Amino acid sequence: MSHLLASYTATHLFAAALGAALLVRGRKLYWLALGGVGFFLGLWLASRFLDLRSTGLQLGIAFLIGILGAYLTTAAQRLAVALGGFVVGGALAYWVALWLARSLEWQSGPWWLITTLLGAMLGSFFAAILFEASLVALTSLLGALLIARASLLGPPHESWLFLVLLCVGMLAQSGEKKDRRERKD
């Protein structure tokens, strides 16, 4: 048990906390959702494409991209949500492709890129068309994904946790909307 706890980093704990906030209050905190997406995208980009030895510099770049994502959300909501849908849809499609490849022992190839781009385009399309519902769906997806990935459970437990958390998030945020309507009556 102590070995499992020792493998958690501050990034895992931050991802889990952000995921929990998005899971239950994401529709209200959509600026946080896109700021969080920007942060993790920046962290991934900095670690993958920049040869930075300093973790602080990587986190600084990620933080700046996260602030940019939050600013875009407040400045241009629909564009930011469509962009967020693109990133979250692409990340989710990539994660599903990765899970399928590991589970079915598929070789990597152009289908990874096609799957990721298709998921990104679908996420962007649904985010733009179904703004309010997409906020619930995207923040639930992102919250569940952040918590599941931060859990370090690995397949297949991580997938089951993701699905359960996705349902919990969608129900929690949908119930919040229903409660607000009942209070108005």
pLDDT digits (tens, 9 = 90+) for 27-80: 677 677 667 777 777 777 777 777 777 777 777 878 887 787 777 666 777 777
**pLDDT at position 163, please?**
92
- End-to-end C-alpha distance for the chain, whole angstroms: 50
CA gap 123, 152 in Å, rounded: 26
Q: What is the DSSP string of 112-171?
A: HHHHHHHHHHHHHHHHHHSHHHHHHHHHHHHHHHHHHHHTT--TTHHHHHHHHHHHHHHH
pLDDT digits (tens, 9 = 90+) for 145-166: 888 888 878 778 888 999 999 9
Taking the whole predicted model, whether its pTM rises above 0.75 is answered as: no
Do residues 135 and 114 lie in contact, with contact meaning Cβ atoms separated by under 8 Å? no
